[in-house]
Structure 1
Amino acid sequence: MQPNYALDDAEWNKLISDAAYYFDDLTLKRGFQYYKQNRVQTFSISEPRKMRAMVEGRENYGVYINLDNFPGNYCDCPVNEPCKHIAAVLMYYADAQKRSVASLANAKAVVSRPKAAAASAEVPAGTGSRSALVKKLGGLIPGGTVAQWREYLQLLTSPLAHTVRNPQYADRALAAIAEAKPQLSPAAGMLFKLHAHLFILENLLRPNLPAAAAPVLGYSLGYYTAVAVSELQAAVTRLMNTTLPLAEEPGEWQRVKDTLSYLRQEMLTEARDRSRDQPYFSACYELLWRKWIAPNTDGAALYSEELDALRQEGQELGAAHSRQSLLLAESRMYYLLSDDRAAWELLRKTAERPGIYPDELMSFLIPLAEAGHWSRLTSWLAEIGPLLTSRLYNLSDYAGYWKEAVRRLPETEPLMWDTLSGMLPISREIYEDLLLDYGKWQDWMDYQLSSGKAPSDFRVSDLQPLEKNAPELLLPFYHQAVERFVVEKNRHSYKAAVKLMKRLAKLYKKLKREERWEEFLEAFTSRNSRLRALQEELRKGKLIP
């Protein structure tokens, strides 16, 4: 397992200060976007406070960071100063350290903000009356319904109603709610905490409306609001990944069903666009079923009831509901009922228009892998693969599920190759990697040649598996590239050709075909004898005397 080298508080505060000093605010914002888009790849920490990563941009850029020498941090992109790629890696690192990514993204504001402001809370005149109200509400919460909880949350956070919606607002709202200190059982406490986060999430998404107002479709979040929403949803995910003890507290089922009713309406009326972020309430709805409801129910009755509720809600909302959200939720119920064909049919209809987020499809795979249902998992992998059409989505998790399924059921390997080849060019990266992982050297080379790739498109390390296991396959690949370089007829291309020819010489020697190499070199030199610059480069490379 890779070492983590945890940051202490002093080191974290220094990182925040360094980020505020060396980056401008726009670069931090762009770095945050790259981090959110999962563009940071192959992250590693070689020793304390030193890390490397590859970041996907217009090209793949290598990043090296030494936290003890910030000016010496390096990215091989064209920007000659701290860039968004370095910022994205730092935010990836902060997340791995369980630190606030938002604080790093807002380093300028965090460093300049007075410490007292973060701790202060706006309260109306008359501190005594406010304290009495908080105490009273804290006593009412244990016996309240979900609807009453939301009313209490509105009262507890009312002093913050007119403040700017940013990460500080979310922190202060949660602190105001925690001040009530309701005495709740474990399951009730988790449900109340969930509703506290959902209430604040709703206020971040619809800041100028009362809680009961209809959703604002198409509302565009500001940058700092988006950061707050991202952090809040991460907190919701962590909470719902914890088991809800309903078996010990069956009396909490009514609150679970009320929570489901609330999320159902929010999910169906939530805007869907082409953004890279999964719709907020849709994610919560999915987690509620997968993490809290499904593990606590045995029969199919609850899933059938939800299908009826979804359809009824869709009819009542009319044009205000999202057809994609409805189809996706219905497919999830058929999935839970093990009616996969019905689920797949609805998913195909859902994917006919942009707006379905890849993680919503991937969420169907997680329970199957966890339960070891490998045959069913392979069927789902084959079905959702063609629906993963976003070029910006990282398919490494999808490839990982295929590898594990094939390991368990080797006879499903042909289905994996058929699916991945059918997904090209979207699946290009994972397809190439899996061909190498499975030792399909000829297939890998055929794909590169058919795609018009050249050796210069790869790092030397990328081609090392072939040089070791199937060096003969690289001969036509390198020869073809050499001829292309020569046709360009410039000094730079001649140098590239000679560099590649030196690798060819090593391959011929490894294959014990030195005579063939000498024949080629002699013919090549003679054929291009009029190209003086090429001849000079061949001499410099010590290929000819």
Structure 2
Amino acid sequence: MSELTIDWDYWTTRIRSDFDSTILKRGWKYYQDGVVGAIQTEGTSVVKARVSGSSHYRVQLDLEAFSRSTCSCPYFDTCKHMAAVLFQVAEQEGYDPHALLYPNSTKMPTSQQVHTAPKPAVHKPKETDSCEAWVVYFAKQYANSKVYNAFSIEELYMRAWGQLNKLADDWEPVIRSIYDIQVVLYLMQLCDALMQSKSGVYDFFYNAEYFLAKIAKHSRERLHTSLWEINVEKAHNKHLSHLKEISAYLAAYMEKETFNSQNQWFDTYKVLWSELLYEQSLVADELARLRSIVASADRDSDVYEAAVIALAHFDMMNEEDENAWERVTQECSSVEPSDWFGYLKVFVQEEQGERLLKWLRWLGPEVQKDAAYYASDYLYFWQEASRYLDVEKEHRQAMVTLLPASYREYSSFLFQKKEYQTWADLCLLLNLTPLEISAGELKLVEKADPRWVLPIYHYAAEECIQAKNRDAYREAVKLLKKLASAYKKLKQTSRFEAYVAYLSQEYSRYRAFQEELKKGKLIP
């Protein structure tokens, strides 16, 4: 919330007296259902919000002259939508909304174990606060948020980011960047918790991927922006205590099952340690923590493997790649190639060709285990390596090894080298027909030498005939006509005619095929 001035006694006496008790209870239910959203303030006393009931209603409250408050619903007096907004604003400003519903203990149901006295307000974040104090404020505003679908999680994330981000607009740049990083980490954790709370709802996860991907994208962008803008040396010298808190926040989340969640916590961990937290004392503390997890006899397997990969990350930052390979290969149940593609991207950007090549060799066997999923990204890095090094032979072998998943990359490579006959042999090896091959590629090869496309058309035509249906026979005739064109260019029309005569004789009992041959004027 922004700069509202709250006179709590006025709220619990004068404002509350404007509401019928039944209306207050209905508003309380709306508040508990989490249907109050899009809260905005104007000045120190005006609140605007949207309440989603049987329809969407716009509420505007004037906290100094409450009689001027309005709601777009048809109710002529103070309504449940206005009450729901009051409850929500009270909570977000650090007061106990129960005190509006039940102003004294004699009217409060005995089954409700709540405090009527207002809670002290949690002050808004300050430049001089610790990260922990910031998080206390964040949690006060959003920890009890209610969501019903993935869209509402994204809406909450974007609204919270906008509200929290602007609180530090006039701060010194370094501490502002650190604050923004803490905001992103908190909101990532909040969204993870909300997602977990819906873990048993099928419809939620069925529709969640799109919205969660948008949250993850925004988180990455904000982190990278903050890291790009921050003066790391100044952060280490002046705000080391804040960085230590950021490190502890990451560590606490690393030990939860959701560490490798949809929001890509491990990617966040890597980028923060690589670009901001890499300071001698912080690194020493983190390495000690990770080694303690790995050495523990009573350890969760997921947490253990996450710690191993984190240790490998520190090996990487020290350019001790062999140590990283050994850790992961020996201590993890499997090697996930995509976990390492980010490093390969950095090697490309920094033109570390030799290092990139070593990693490609190490990852090759792991990529081969699931080539359909990883081949395209992996071969992109081979192509980049070829810009710095003479690796054509190894690059070619990598593509051959990953076939058929690597067909598109290998095909492009062969065309670049003008190895058209090898390309035609590849198509036959993979049982590809002209229907599965680019028409442009076929024309290019046929123009270079028609002999190389003959086996492709022969194979495809007979495959269609073997399908034994009218549509396939028609397709076979089309292929035979293209074959006729290729033989004509070679001045071997007689060979084509002999081949058609053979097909007509071989499949003489296929009456529909014979009819299509006649329609195509391939036989009399």
TM-score normalised over the length of structure 1: 0.65
Does 2:365 align with 1:379? no
1:128-527 equivalences in 2 (<5 Å): 130=93, 137-138=123-124, 140-157=125-142, 160-162=144-146, 164=148, 166-178=153-165, 180-181=167-168, 183-207=170-194, 222-223=204-205, 227-242=210-225, 243=228, 244-250=230-236, 251-271=238-258, 280-293=264-277, 306-315=286-295, 318-320=298-300, 321-349=302-330, 352-353=333-334, 356=336, 358-388=337-367, 389-390=369-370, 393=373, 395-409=375-389, 411-461=390-440, 463-527=442-506
Distance 2:120 2:221 in 1: 27
CA deviation digits over 1:460-503, x for unaligned, max 9?
34534433445422211221222233334432332121111111
CA contact (8 A) 1:307 1:330 kept: yes
Structure 2 CA distance for partners of 1:263 and 1:449, relative to 1, 3 Å: same
Q: Secondary structure at the match of 1:141?
A: coil
Distance 1:262 1:532 in 2: 76
CA contact (8 A) 1:485 1:497 kept: yes
Q: CA deviation at 1:529?
A: 4.7
Q: Which runs of 5+ in 2 are unaligned?
A: 1-51, 62-80, 96-118
Q: CA deviation at 1:413?
A: 1.6
Q: What's the counterpart of residue 42 of structure 1?
A: none
Distance 1:351 1:504 in 2: 54
1:234 alignment partner AA: K
Q: Secondary structure at the match of 1:446?
A: helix
Distance 2:281 2:93 in 1: 46
Q: CA deviation at 1:371?
A: 0.3
Is the deviation greater in 389-398 or in 497-506? 389-398
CA contact (8 A) 2:379 2:399 kept: no
Q: CA deviation at 1:305?
A: 6.0
Q: CA deviation at 1:154?
A: 1.5
Structure 2 CA distance for partners of 1:480 and 1:181, relative to 1, 3 Å: closer
Q: CA deviation at 1:283?
A: 2.2
Q: What's the counterpart of residue 33 of structure 2?
A: none
CA contact (8 A) 1:331 1:347 kept: yes
RMSD, aligned α-carbons: 4.1
CA deviation digits over 1:29-68, x for unaligned, max 9?
xxxxxxxxxxxxxxxxxxxxxxxxxxxxxxxxxxxxxxxx
Distance 2:245 2:370 in 1: 35
Distance 1:466 1:113 in 2: 64
Q: What's the counterpart of residue 46 of structure 1?
A: none
CA contact (8 A) 1:331 1:342 kept: yes
Q: CA deviation at 1:279?
A: 5.9
CA deviation digits over 1:302-340, x for unaligned, max 9?
767644432224456942352332222222221221122
CA contact (8 A) 1:218 1:271 kept: no
Distance 2:445 2:330 in 1: 42
CA contact (8 A) 1:471 1:507 kept: yes
CA contact (8 A) 2:404 2:430 kept: no
Q: CA deviation at 1:373?
A: 0.8
Give the percent of matched residue pairs that are identical in Structure 1 and Structure 2: 24
CA contact (8 A) 1:237 1:287 kept: no
1:154 alignment partner AA: A
CA contact (8 A) 1:368 1:374 kept: yes
CA contact (8 A) 2:147 2:194 kept: no
CA contact (8 A) 2:165 2:180 kept: no
CA deviation digits over 1:249-268, x for unaligned, max 9?
44234423432332233234
Q: CA deviation at 1:428?
A: 4.4
1:502 alignment partner AA: K
Structure 2 CA distance for partners of 1:127 and 1:331, relative to 1, 3 Å: closer
Q: Secondary structure at the match of 2:356?
A: helix
Q: Secondary structure at the match of 2:521?
A: coil
CA contact (8 A) 2:259 2:266 kept: no
Q: Secondary structure at the match of 1:338?
A: coil
- Of structures 1 and 2, the one scoring higher in RCO (CA 8 A, sep 6+) is 1
Structure 2 CA distance for partners of 1:323 and 1:480, relative to 1, 3 Å: same
Distance 1:284 1:257 in 2: 16
Structure 2 CA distance for partners of 1:268 and 1:180, relative to 1, 3 Å: same
CA deviation digits over 1:157-196, x for unaligned, max 9?
35x5345462222233334424644642223222212221
Distance 1:347 1:465 in 2: 46
Q: What's the counterpart of residue 4 of structure 2?
A: none
Distance 2:326 2:502 in 1: 61
Q: What's the counterpart of residue 45 of structure 1?
A: none
1:83-98 equivalences in 2 (<5 Å): none
Structure 2 CA distance for partners of 1:430 and 1:309, relative to 1, 3 Å: farther
Distance 2:155 2:164 in 1: 14
1:484 alignment partner AA: E
Q: What's the counterpart of residue 513 of structure 2?
A: 534
Distance 1:260 1:219 in 2: 32
Distance 2:91 2:456 in 1: 80
2:123 alignment partner AA: L
Q: CA deviation at 1:237?
A: 0.8
Q: Which runs of 5+ in 1 are unaligned?
A: 1-109, 209-214
Q: CA deviation at 1:420?
A: 3.1
1:68-147 equivalences in 2 (<5 Å): 114=56, 116=58, 124=87, 130=93, 137-138=123-124, 140-147=125-132
CA contact (8 A) 1:327 1:350 kept: yes
Q: Which has the larger radius of gyration?
A: 2
1:157 alignment partner AA: Y
